[in-house]
Structure formats: structure tokens, C-alpha cells
């Protein structure tokens, strides 16, 4: 075990003594974390950080006006293993990622803008990290550094995911004609610079604090940023399907089809994130996943919320690891969450949704089903490549579990009632 860095301990102790009033020494703590990995932070430093958190929490609850709202969640994520609370949401630092997110009921265009901006930030940051490695000045974590060929491929694939979002929210950064002709050819460095030029102080702090690898291998940076990009996308999808349900109940139920289509589009645009992640070296993943045990995307509330807004999952699925791993989402479903499929069946049978509109909605749902099937198949193939016959980190047997969920449908009613039109 390495000894605690003396200047860092002093900086932290000073901050602690000030009751959290001054600037938190993020740089020192994050540099240390990325040099050794969260799993290997020394006990002495962790104990000091936990003490600082207590001081900070007391100062905040005493109304002493502590200005930095990142410190609390940052320390919770950093101390998750120490607290014995480590899981997928804390591994992916979702609490830090979501700071400043608009309210879930803000309207789908506001939510998509936030999703687009966040994914652009996450991937621009990844491009910056990979470019440092390509230029011969790698930053931590830098163990098992991939070669230039793989790193350049990473830049292209990251760009490919960014382009559609940049076309929507970043005027002039991307040429729509070039993107339509050959996706992924926008110069990665220029695009990343254009994105980061729009970053607020909050964005920069989010990027810095939300990357907390468990070990020292370079590829874990990619793994975390890809998971976070998907999670940001799932959050948008869930909130927009919630809006679709409300729209179906409202004056213009036919407008729900456009919302389902918007959800399909972002999921489709996100599929190359799997190709991007496929550039992770399996031998590298096998080393660092030893320290991610207990954190699995089977605990992704965003994914299960999205799924359970489409239709109510079958009882067997609700009682399997799939939903037992997300108890809050499961409770919402059991409490009778309304779904797109359930609501559309009601509004069609009551005559509230005219048949031509119902046909458009069914076609939109069918498209979402198709893209989700592609998502599951690509995820399955990636898992085969990365873990083969090894078990999952979320208590399942691994690849056989993923094979078993492919046959499930978001909109099972469509099986009996093929889309018209």
C-alpha cells in the first residue's frame, strides 16, 4: 500500500479545518485517484476524506452557505468502496453527471438539447484524453496503452456519435453534406475543441469529477465515457416516453408518435458507441473488471425505466435479476406506471385516437422495437468478444443471460397486431 501524499493531506486537512469554506483541492485528489485507481487508494487518505465529508455535511446542513454543490456527491462517489456502497450508479458517477440537468418534465426538445450537449462534452473529453496519448504525452490512467491505429479508430468512432448531436446544437461545427456522405470524417480534434469552447465552469467540473477509474489502465477511461453517454441517452429516452404517455392522454394524442420517433433517433445514433467500445482491448478489460465486481449495467435505472415506459414487463422479468437489480424502478412499475402501449390501447379502443394516427404511432413503435433489437444484438456480440464464457459482474451467468433477453419485446402487443401503413 502506498503512503498518503503529504502535501495532499495538508491541503485536505486545511480545507477540513476551514469547514469546507475554501476551494476543495480537486486537482490533488483526482490526480491521486487517477494515478492508483479508486480500488487502491490508501486507507489513511480515505479516512481523511471521509472526515472531510462529515465536516462539509455538517457545515452545509448548518446553513453556512457552502457554495460548491459538487463536493458532496464527488466524495460519495470517491468513497463508495470505502463506504461499502459501490454499485453501477456510483461507478459511473451518475449523481455528478446529472447535476444541472433540466427537470424531467421540461419538454422533449429541452431534454434532447441537454442530452446532446452532455454526450458531446463526454466524448470531446474522451477525444482530448486519446489525443494526449497519440501525441506521446499520455495522462493517467495510462497502463496498457493501446497503439496509434486503435486510438485513431477511437477518434473516428467518437466523432461519428457526436456528429448528429453537433448538427442539432452546435451551429457550423459540422458540415451536414460531409456527414451525410461519410459519417465520422469530421476532424476529431477540431470538433472536440469546438465543443469544449462552449463548456461552462459547471461542465468542466462535471467532466473532471465524473471520471473515477477503479484501476490504472488507459482503456477504463473509454469504458466510463461510453457508459455515461448511454446513461445520458437513456435518461432522455425515459423522460420523453413519459411525455409520450401524457400526450396520448391529452388533446392531440397523435403527436405522441413524434416523441417515440425522437427516442428511436437518439438510440439509433447511439449504436456506434458499441463500435467505439469494441476498440477496448479485451485483455485490458479483463484486468480492470476484477475491481468493478458488484457494478453492472443490469443496475441501470435509466435503461429499465425506458423499457418499462414502453409496456409493463412480464411478471417473470419483474421477478428476475433484471428488475430485482433496480428496486425503485420495480416499485414504480408495480405501483401501476402508465405505459405507451397500455395508454395507446385505451385511447384506440375508446376512439380517442383516430385509426390513421394509431397507424403512425404503431409504425413509430415498430421502428423503436427494431432499433432496440439491434441494440441488444450488438451488446450481446460485444459481451461475447470482451468476456466470452466468464460470468457477469451483476450476478448473472453473463453471455447466456444476454442471449435470453434478446427475444423480449418492448411492445409485445405488436406481435399480435402488426403495424398498419
> Considering beta carbons, is residue 185 or 268 the nearer one to ligand HEM?
268
Contact residue for ligand HEM among 398, 412, 413, 419 (CB under 6 A): 398
**Sign of the CA dihedral running 255, 256, 259, 265:** negative
- Rounded distance, CA 12 to CA 18, Å? 10
Find out whether 322 and 346 touch, Cβ atoms under 8 Å.
no
- For the chain, how far is it from start to end, CA to CA, in angstroms? 65
Tell me: cis bond preceding 141? Omega within 30 of 0 counts. yes
Work out which of 215, 285, 288, 411 binds ligand HEM, going by CB under 6 A.
285
Q: Can you tell me whether residue 217 is helix, strand or coil?
A: strand
Residue of the chain from 230, 236, 288, 309 that contacts ligand HEM (CB under 6 A):
230
Q: Which of 121, 122, 39 is nearest to 81 (CA)?
A: 39
- Binding ligand HEM (rule: CB under 6 A), the pick from 209, 339, 341, 393 is 393
Distance in angstroms (rounded) separating the CA atoms of residues 394 and 107: 34
Of 77 and 173, the one with the shorter C-beta distance to ligand HEM is 77
**The binder of ligand HEM chosen from 24, 239, 396, 411 (CB under 6 A):** 396
Q: What is the DSSP string of 357-385?
A: HHHHHHHHHHHHHHHHHHHHHHHHHHHHH
| In the complex, least distance from residue 303 CB atom to ligand HEM, rounded to whole angstroms | 4
Among 226, 244, 245, 358, binds ligand HEM (CB under 6 A): 226
Site for ligand HEM contains 375 (CB under 6 A): no
Q: Tell me: does residue 412 bind ligand HEM (CB under 6 A).
A: no
Total residues belonging to the chain: 421
Binding ligand HEM by CB under 6 A: which of 383, 403, 414, 419?
A: 383
Which residue of 322, 347, 360, 364 would you call a contact of ligand HEM, by CB under 6 A? 322
Instruction: Decide if 263 contacts 241 (C-beta within 8 A).
Output: yes
Q: How far is the CB of 281 from ligand HEM (least distance, A)?
A: 11
Out of 66, 97, 211, 387, point to the residue binding ligand HEM (CB under 6 A). 387
CB 214 within 8 A of CB 292: yes
CB 347 within 8 A of CB 253: yes
Provide the grid cell at 103.
Answer: 427537470
Q: Is 374 helix (H, G, I), strand (E, B) or coil?
A: helix
C-beta atoms surrounding 199 within 10 Å: 17
- By beta-carbon proximity to ligand HEM, the closer residue of 165 and 224 is 224
Whether 328 and 304 have beta carbons less than 8 Å apart is answered as no
The least CB distance from residue 288 to ligand HEM, in Å, is 10
Which residue shows C-alpha cell 467540473?
Answer: 205
* 62 vs 388 by CB, closer to ligand HEM: 388
Binding ligand HEM (rule: CB under 6 A), the pick from 118, 300, 311, 341 is 300
Number of residues that bind ligand HEM (CB under 6 A): 25
Q: Which of residues 382, 403, 413, 419 is near ligand HEM by CB under 6 A?
A: 382
Is 386 one of the binding residues for ligand HEM (CB under 6 A)?
yes
Residue 19 C-beta: closest distance to ligand HEM, Å: 38
* Radius of gyration for the chain, computed over Cα atoms and rounded to the nearest angstrom: 22
Summarize as ranges the residues that interact with ligand HEM (CB under 6 A).
226-227, 230, 277, 285, 296-298, 300, 303, 322, 379, 382-383, 386-387, 392-396, 398, 401-402, 405
Amino acid at each position: 500500500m502506498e503512503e498518503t501524499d503529504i502535501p495532499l493531506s495538508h491541503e485536505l486537512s486545511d480545507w477540513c479545518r476551514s469547514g469546507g469554506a475554501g476551494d476543495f483541492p480537486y486537482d490533488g485528489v483526482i490526480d491521486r485517484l487517477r494515478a492508483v485507481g479508486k480500488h487502491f487508494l490508501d486507507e489513511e487518505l480515505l479516512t481523511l476524506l471521509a472526515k472531510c465529508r462529515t465536516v462539509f455535511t455538517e457545515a452545509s446542513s448548518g446553513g453556512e452557505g457552502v457554495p460548491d454543490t459538487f463536493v458532496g456527491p464527488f466524495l460519495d462517489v470517491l468513497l463508495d468502496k470505502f463506504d461499502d456502497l459501490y454499485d453501477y450508479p456510483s461507478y459511473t458517477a451518475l449523481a455528478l453527471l446529472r447535476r444541472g440537468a433540466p427537470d424531467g418534465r421540461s419538454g422533449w426538445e429541452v431534454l434532447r438539447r441537454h442530452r446532446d450537449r452532455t454526450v458531446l462534452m463526454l466524448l470531446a473529453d474522451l477525444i482530448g484524453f486519446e489525443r494526449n496519448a497519440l501525441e506521446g504525452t499520455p495522462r493517467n490512467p495510462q497502463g496498457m496503452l493501446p497503439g496509434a491505429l486503435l486510438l485513431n479508430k477511437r477518434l473516428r468512432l467518437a466523432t461519428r456519435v457526436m456528429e448528429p448531436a453537433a448538427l442539432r446544437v452546435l451551429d457550423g461545427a459540422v458540415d451536414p453534406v460531409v456527414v451525410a456522405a461519410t459519417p465520422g470524417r469530421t476532424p476529431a480534434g477540431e470538433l472536440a475543441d469546438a465543443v469544449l469552447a462552449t463548456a461552462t465552469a459547471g461542465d468542466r467540473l462535471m467532466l473532471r469529477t465524473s471520471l473515477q477509474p477503479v484501476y490504472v489502465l488507459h482503456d477504463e477511461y473509454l469504458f466510463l465515457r461510453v457508459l455515461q453517454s448511454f446513461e445520458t441517452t437513456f435518461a432522455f429516452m425515459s423522460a420523453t416516453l413519459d411525455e409520450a404517455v401524457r400526450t396520448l392522454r391529452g388533446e392531440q394524442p397523435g403527436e405522441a408518435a413524434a416523441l417515440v420517433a425522437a427516442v428511436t433517433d437518439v438510440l439509433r445514433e447511439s449504436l456506434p458507441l458499441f463500435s467505439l467500445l469494441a476498440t477496448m482491448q479485451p485483455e485490458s478489460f479483463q484486468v480492470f473488471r476484477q475491481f468493478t465486481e458488484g457494478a453492472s449495467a443490469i443496475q441501470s435505472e435509466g435503461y429499465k425505466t425506458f423499457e418499462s415506459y414502453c409496456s409493463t414487463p412480464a411478471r417473470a422479468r419483474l421477478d428476475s435479476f433484471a428488475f430485482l437489480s433496480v428496486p425503485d424502478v420495480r416499485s414504480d412499475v408495480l405501483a401501476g406506471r402508465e405505459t405507451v402501449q397500455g395508454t395507446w390501447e385505451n385511447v384506440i379502443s375508446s376512439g380517442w385516437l383516430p385509426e390513421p394516427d394509431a397507424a403512425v404511432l404503431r409504425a413509430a413503435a415498430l421502428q423503436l422495437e427494431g432499433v432496440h433489437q439491434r441494440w441488444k444484438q450488438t451488446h450481446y456480440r460485444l459481451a461475447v468478444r470482451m468476456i466470452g464464457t466468464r460470468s457477469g459482474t451483476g450476478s448473472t451467468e453473463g453471455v447466456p443471460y444476454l442471449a435470453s433477453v434478446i427475444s423480449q419485446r418492448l411492445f409485445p402487443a405488436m406481435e399480435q397486431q402488426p403495424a398498419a401503413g
